[in-house]
Amino acid sequence: MRATVSWQDAPPDRDGLRSVCYDVAYKPDGSQLVTGMGNRVLVYGCQDGALLHSLKAHKDAVYAVSWSFEGSRFASGGADKTIIIWTSEAEGILKYNHNESVQCLAFNPCSMQLASATASDFGLWAPQQKSVQKHKVSSKVLCMGWTKDGQHLALGQYDGCVSVRDRTGGEKVKIQRGAPVWSLAWNPNKRETHDVMAVGCWDGTLSFYQLNGMQVGDDTRLGFDPCSVSYFGGGDYVVVGGTDKTARLCSKEGTVLTTLCERGSWVWCARARPGHNAIAVGSEDGSISTHALTFSTVHGMYKELYAYRDLMTDVIVQQLETDQKVRIRCKDYVKKIAVYKDKLAVQLPDKLVIYQKIESDDPDDMQYRMMTTIEDNLKCNLLVITSHHVILCMEKKLLLYTMEGKKERTWSMDSVIRYIKVNGGPEKGEGVLVGLKDGMCLKIFINNDFPVELVNHGASVRCLDMSAFRKKLAVVDENSAVVVYDVKTKAVLFEGKGANSVAFNSVYEDMFCYAGDGILSIKTADFPVHTQNLDGFAVGFNASKIYCLHNISMQTVVVPHSWSVKNYIKKGDFDGAYAVACLGVTNKDFMNLGLAAHWGINLEVARKCFIRCRDMKYIDLVADTEEGLKKGEPAFMFRALSLAYQSKFHEAAKEYAEGGRADKAMEMFTEMRMFDEAKVWAEEYAKTHGGGDISLTDFVNRQAEWAEETSDYESAVNMYVQAKKFEKAVALVGKNNWRDKLLEIMRLLDVKDDAKVIQQCAGHFARWGDSSHAKEAYNKLGDHAGLMTLHVQQNQWDDAFALLKQHPEYADKVHLPYANWLADNDRFDEARVAYRVAGRSEMSTRMLEQLTLNAVLMRRFKDAGYYYWLMSEEAADSLPKDSRALLSDDDEAKLARFHELKDRSEIYYAYDYVFRAMEEPFSSCLPSTLLNIGQFLLSKFATHDEMPMGISLSYVLITIAKHGEALGAYKLARFAYNKLQSLRIPAAWQAEVDLASVVTRSRPNVDGDDLLPLCFRCSTTNPLVSVKGDVCINCGGHFVRSFVTFEHLPMVEFHLADDISAKEARRLINEDPPNKASGSGRGGGGDVLDSGGDQRMMFDDGTGDVKLDDAFAQQMVAPNSLIVCDRDMLRNLPPSEVVIRPSGCALVKPRYYRLMDADAPVTVDAAGNMYETDEYELACLEQGRTPFTRKGVNSDAEQDNYAMVPEPETPPASQGKKKPGWGTARAVGTVRGLEFGK
């Protein structure tokens, strides 16, 4: 760097005082400089050093001056113990005193607060304060400085102490040095993460501290005592002046870089001018001077790798292509830099350091490591580096050193070397371009002692460069002329003016650029020079990027080569144009080049350009052109097509016409819906070809297509009809829902030629729900299948079945959709019948299974019981009808399923009463009925391993417990409460159950006698619940319950002898007994159907009581044995006392019972459930149907296949959590483990 004196002044001694410049201060905007000289305050203009004001207000020497942060005031203080506040116009406005001489002043950088210090105290003043706040110090204060945020003040003292105070004067940190602290300064750089203070001590050191008192780095030995320390360059550098009569520049880490100036005596102060690279220096001899600092650019470059000096001590290596940078901290003054491939040479004051790039798989990794160091002060003018050597230029000599510092070779020139550049080459044999002051241009190979003369330019060389293939040499001389030579012939290829630098394109031989006078010029081949504005030096040219050095920054300028491409196109050199375009042009330039190449039938270049533009349309055009040319088609066809692709339709038409193909022009305009132009070219074609065969229909069709594209659908339909394109017309009419227009078109159509279109019309009418016109279309076609489909789609079932009678072959199109419709409309019973008629019984079964599952999940348990019974009927229907048939494994499984389903139907039917009584606030069931149901369910549970899904054992037990206790069944209630306590029941029940359990223990452990069931076979009194199930504990006879009140019916089961069939048994029962006269027939006896369609055996010939002397009575008294009736016994049984219970399955025999109380007639429904006749008839009247089977009660005739059956009336309860499939009740183990009667 270089320092030059801008101006200086040495005021004479006045008033008997020596003129000593102890302090200077710049106005914040850098326009004025104030200093104390003797007893006067001088204000200078910074531009030319003019003395603006000489202020005499102090009576003794002025030691300190300071400007406020916004430049409106400055202050001065000195040996007269007085501080004066001045305006920026040099008018005194305030004065206050200390008890001793004022040693230093400092305005707060963020406010108007002023700090002043003496030998014994320091004061803080602000405009809003009425007095100065003073604080005592332990030693004389020599210097002071504020942090950049104005929150802390540092005081440097004579005893070597640095005291850091807050804004109120309180001490926060104390730093102890070994000598007087004569100067200090805080770094003003706001980007620094910590406040750093530079401290100059009179032990010859410069040190740095953070705000917390921690030292940063080691002390720097200056070799003199610093009198002044201040920051320069925004905090990047430190200026130090002192007893060696110099002002020196140091890095912000303390490294001494260079001497800025030398004065005649001690330098008491050196301050940086804000916003400028300049400093002001005040000396002991009373002189004041300002110096402008010029920072020279130290850099090196190889291709896209650029290295430059930063902050005087660092080297930054930048990859210009990616703008990636890496900083190398050298911690010393960097004098020279050279870079080549992976090597970097840095010259420091006393050594040369060589770095090598670390190899990495990541191409963007730019880490360098120190390779070697040459410990020698190698002075040179220029420095370059190769792969294994370092070359130093010293005036007329070039010195070649190895990386280890060994000198290998010396070249001596006849003139001073002005330019040197490594031009590449093999390792240890690189070539070096050398330009001399006498105009000689040489090339030196480092493994050869003899330079090679390239050209003799005749003028002092400023810059050199060679082309990519080493065929051309460009020279810039001191006259700013640029000349390009042919290296082989030495001929001048180009001459230009106004150049300060030149660079060949590194990837294209015939292109170079040069810069100068704010103009960048680019020369390609023999075309004219292209210029644009650009300041700086052109130091590199790679493809479309020019690297320009302006001041100290490197810029990358992207220059598109559009003008060069255009020149090559004009020349007809499409290959050259493409080569230049690849260096960097816009997509539009590639497109223009591709079109031009296609026009010139250079299809290879055209294809490459279109591929770069990713335009498939033009790529296909090139492929079509190649194919057409191979077939012998004329080139004008493809030129015209290219024009059409560019929307130049009229030019394309003219190209077609010139080639004699006006018909192509007509087709082009027709496809673009430009029908007027198409007609013009059609007439032209007719003239040239004698009329031609242009079809009006074709024009109309295309016009219709265009009308459709423009959404003029009505015109399009009319034109399609005119062109007899009925299918397209119908499609548009259907899209727009124009019914009348569709009907009009349909009636115009011919069945033979337009059957498909008529079919489409019918489809549209059907979609709109216009069945009458759809029927008209199908009738016109005679399409009965389509008509049937229409009826089905419209749910017109009466019409569908009427048509089915005429055409039975379409049965499969009706029955299954009808069944699905019934199911969708919740007519499930009819749907079951319809599925069976359609031959899809499995769908009926699947529907029933889903209905059953839904009923259970929704807690409609009576519905679930009904559906289970229907499923059992379907299971029975799937079994063989012959009871003597041999059953397969599958039949056995179906039979077991039949029994399971029937059993579940009874359980769910009975449980519904319990659930309703528990969930609903009111119940129509009597307590005795609920108690009977609970007994019935417990007897069922005792014979099952698990309970069906949705059934709660706790509900059953709580019902039994409550109503049993109310009716006097205390033993049963105690049993129920005990079992409830072993189950997991709702928390809300627990306390109630526990209390009730305790209460029942206070009651007698017996059940009321009137509640205990009596066996009608052996007359034994039975417990309410037995572990054996619903059977007598004595004789084992099965109890039969009424399915209304669930009370025991007075019936005794008997069995037929093995050789008696069911048919014969009926006949024998109806015969007169042999001991009666032939005239005493049994009037009114026989099988009858009740009003609900259920079977009932009623015989009206009254009988007496059962006598023990007959065979039936004798078998009744035999316990645990079956009552088997032979033929005689059957003849003797009164028909009115016999009840036959159907099984519902041909493989399962019916069951026979004898009614023991003729006054209590019994009714049997279709499911085999028994009722007291009075209860049954009352239930039918209340519900309007049979209780369990839900048959109608108003008709005895068999219902029609599709008769409507009333649906479940049971309202759904609150729905619980759904579970797929059958579930298992909680505490399943207790079902088998119920110990009844204990």
Question: What is the residue type of 109?
Answer: P
* Alpha carbons 451 and 538: distance in angstroms, whole number: 27
Place of tokens 């009179």: 202
Per-residue three-class SS string for 1160-1212: CCEEECCCCCEEEHHHHHHHHHHHCECCCCCCECCCCCCCCCCCCCCCCCCCC
Q: What value does the CA radius of gyration of the chain take, rounded to a whole number of Å?
A: 59
**Backbone torsions φ then ψ of 1011, nearest 5 degrees:** -95, -20
* Alpha carbons 935 and 1024: distance in angstroms, whole number: 7
Residue 38, phi-psi category: left (phi > 0), alpha (psi -120 to 50), beta (remainder): left
Contact 327, 348 (CB under 8 A): no
**Backbone torsions φ then ψ of 1024, nearest 5 degrees:** -65, -35
Mean pLDDT of the chain: 84
User: At residue 1064, does pLDDT exceed 80?
Assistant: yes
* Alpha carbons 597 and 574: distance in angstroms, whole number: 6
The whole-model pTM stands at 0.53
Tell me what percent of the residues of the chain surpass a pLDDT of 90. 40
Extract the runs of DSSP E, i.e. beta strands, from 1071-1161.
1087-1089, 1095-1097, 1124-1125, 1138-1141, 1151-1155
Quick one: pLDDT at residue 706?
Answer: 65
Quick one: pLDDT at residue 691?
Answer: 44
Q: pLDDT of 1065-1099, one tens digit each?
A: 999 988 877 655 444 344 444 443 343 444 444 44
Place of tokens 């609920």: 930
Q: Residue 214 burial (CB < 10 Å; 0-12/13-18/19+)?
A: exposed
Quick one: pLDDT at residue 1235?
Answer: 41
Q: pLDDT of 741-773, one tens digit each?
A: 888 888 888 777 778 888 788 878 777 877 778
The pLDDT-based confidence of 1229 (bands split at 50, 70, 90) is very low
Q: pLDDT of 84-120, one tens digit each?
A: 999 999 999 999 999 999 999 999 999 999 999 999 9
> Which residues 6+ apart lie within 8 Å of 499 measured at CB?
463, 476, 480, 481, 482, 514, 515, 516, 521
- Measured at the CA of 1165, the angle between CA 1162 and CA 1170, to 5 degrees, comes to 40
Which tokens sit at 1120? Answer: 């645990």
Quick one: pLDDT at residue 729?
Answer: 80
Q: pLDDT of 38-83, one tens digit each?
A: 899 999 999 989 999 999 989 999 999 999 999 999 999 999 999 9
Sheet bearing 104-107, strands edge to edge: 104-107, 114-117, 121-125, 133-136
1009 Cα distance to chain centroid: 78
**What residues does 231 pair with on adjacent strands?**
238
Count of beta carbons in the 10 Å neighbourhood of residue 531: 13
Quick one: pLDDT at residue 662?
Answer: 66
User: At residue 1038, does pLDDT exceed 60?
Assistant: yes
Higher pLDDT, 833 or 1164: 1164
**Backbone torsions φ then ψ of 700, nearest 5 degrees:** -60, -40
Quick one: pLDDT at residue 701?
Answer: 67
Half-sphere exposure of 964 (CA within 13 A, CB side): 31
Which tokens sit at 589? Answer: 């330039």
Q: pLDDT of 132-172, one tens digit each?
A: 999 999 999 999 999 999 999 999 999 999 999 999 999 99
Contact 867, 855 (CB under 8 A): yes
Residue count of the chain: 1238
